[in-house]
A and B are shown apart, each in its own frame.
Chain A
Amino acid sequence: MTMFGYRLPMMTSLILWAVLWELVGHTEAGFILPPLSKIVMRMGEILPTPSFAEALLITGRSFLTGVGIAVLAGVPIGILMGRSIIADRLLLPWVNLFLSAPLSALVPVIMVLFGLGEATIILTVTLFAIWIIVLNARVGVRSISPSLVEMAQSFGASRWQAFSKVYVWAALPEILAGVRLGVIRAVKGVVIGQLLVSVVGFGTLFEIYSSHFLMEHFWALLLVLFAFAFALNEGMAWLERKVQYYAASRA
């Protein structure tokens, strides 16, 4: 990017905001928003602690399990909906309902059913991620060119062969886009789930930090989570670009 004829280095805006944050941190607002430099130092302090490692492990485990369930269940359901009118009629209203529903409100219900443990977190993650994955897989399958479907038929593909050798691959660009969006929602799911349950993983840490008004710890943890979410998103976007060449050539 250039401005007034000067080439600005990458992340200029990020640096600008960081400086602004630092300045605000040194004013009276510092008690709620401590200076960035102190937060970063605190981060270095928190990261090696066993409680952080344990929280990270639990969070990562429930996140991956939840996303795994969402993908393994969501993609086949979406493909089924894209291929079968009956399944589509039956499921589409529900998928759309859950996609737009305020799912955080359902977490207490899950908590009652599955207790205050990892199962609840996993289920929350799945609940957040699965609907967009289903919907994208459905759209991907519906946009497969009819002649590719006929090709599979005419060469005698069984239902399973058509699904595993043609439909999944033909819909892969849309499926991956859905998984990326699902992963982003899953990050929300895992954080919201832990905050509401508040005795598991980062939820415990957040609970401790905010109740003891440890704002530097609190912000440090938040920044770590933001960085994780951002890195996940970029990783998925990279994966998507890898398959884009054939998405473009498909038209």
Chain B
Amino acid sequence: MIASLANVAPHPGTAAQGSAIVSVRNIKKTYPGGVEALSGITLDFPEGQLTTLLGPSGCGKTTLLKIIAGLLPATSGEVLVGGRTVTGPGPERSFVFQDFALMPWASVLRNVAFGLELRGVRKSEREAIAVGHIAKVGLKGFEYKYPHELSGGMRQRVGLARALAVDSAVIMMDEPFSAVDEQTRRKFQEDLLGLIANEKKTFLFVTHSIEEAVYVSDRIVLLSRRPSRVSTIIEPKLDRSGDPEGIRRDPAYLDAVEGIWQSLKKYLD
């Protein structure tokens, strides 16, 4: 379904088709000390798609994501989620952290159910929900393990399950695979595609890996070097209906990777 949505997209670089669930309006961010991270970003994130923020390291992709998450205040501009201005974190958004951010003293089950625990959902109810999501990310049987007993890839699956468990419309992922080794990452990316197709949620993804961006994204927003602006928007039209391994051999995939590399190259010295 997502692949077909991407296929009907008019032209790369035009405004979002369909309704934008997240809108960023002229966001500027200057850190104390005068470092200008973002200089006037305006973007729409269409509902039900996976949009990736991609750019050279230190370009402020994570900063933008955290502003959308309500974890960081913007210097000026506004973020609208579902038409409403964001002033802080909210139940319609959930976050997957680069370093997992799991509670080491809590079991996988409690970690996954934590968002619901904070909302006051009854223990039996929230654990039933969590068990379902633990199975969904492929960790069935690990419910009573502790984070230190899991590998990096498995820990991030817990982080993902926790974000899914609160059933928010928007899931934000901040370089979720950067602390995971290469083989695990590939497997995880493949599994993620399956999850995205089933969940019908809006995903905001941040990565510095071009291959990863093209592999998982419906839209890729290229950010320029600091102070960041939106440089280009690319919509790789890949057929994700078949074998997930086949995507990496798809000429469209390879062309998109090459195209992005050519436009990012100029930011390197």
Name A's B-contacting residues (CB within 8 A): 145, 147-148, 150-158, 161, 165-166, 169-170, 172, 243, 245-246, 248-250
Q: Is the CB of A154 within 8 A of B104?
A: no
Q: Is the CB of B103 within 8 A of A148?
A: yes
Contacts of A169 in B (CB 8 A): 103, 105
- Per DSSP, chain A at the interface is helix
Q: Is the CB of A147 within 8 A of B99?
A: yes
Contacts of A152 in B (CB 8 A): 118
Give CA–CA (A249, B99) in the complex, Å: 13
> In the complex, what's the smallest C-beta–C-beta distance from B32 to chain A, in angstroms?
13
For B, the interface residue count at a CB cutoff of 8 angstroms equals 29
Q: Is the CB of B95 within 8 A of A249?
A: no
Interface residue? B97 (CB, 8 A): yes
Chain B 90-124 against A: per-residue CB contact (8 Å), 1 yes, 0 no?
11011101111101110000000011011100000
Give CA–CA (A151, B98) in the complex, Å: 11
Q: Is the CB of B148 within 8 A of A153?
A: no
Give CA–CA (A219, B93) in the complex, Å: 67
Q: Is the CB of B99 within 8 A of A145?
A: yes
Name B's A-contacting residues (CB within 8 A): 66, 69-71, 88-91, 93-95, 97-101, 103-105, 114-115, 117-119, 146-148, 162, 166
Q: Is the CB of A147 within 8 A of B91?
A: no
Which residue of A is nearest B104, CB measured? Answer: A246
Which residue of B is nearest A150, CB measured? Answer: B71
Give CA–CA (A249, B100) in the complex, Å: 13
> In the complex, what's the smallest C-beta–C-beta distance from A251 to chain B, in angstroms?
10
Give CA–CA (A155, B201) in the complex, Å: 17
With known contacts A172-B105, A246-B148, A151–B118 Cβ distance under 8 A? no
Contacts of B98 in A (CB 8 A): 147
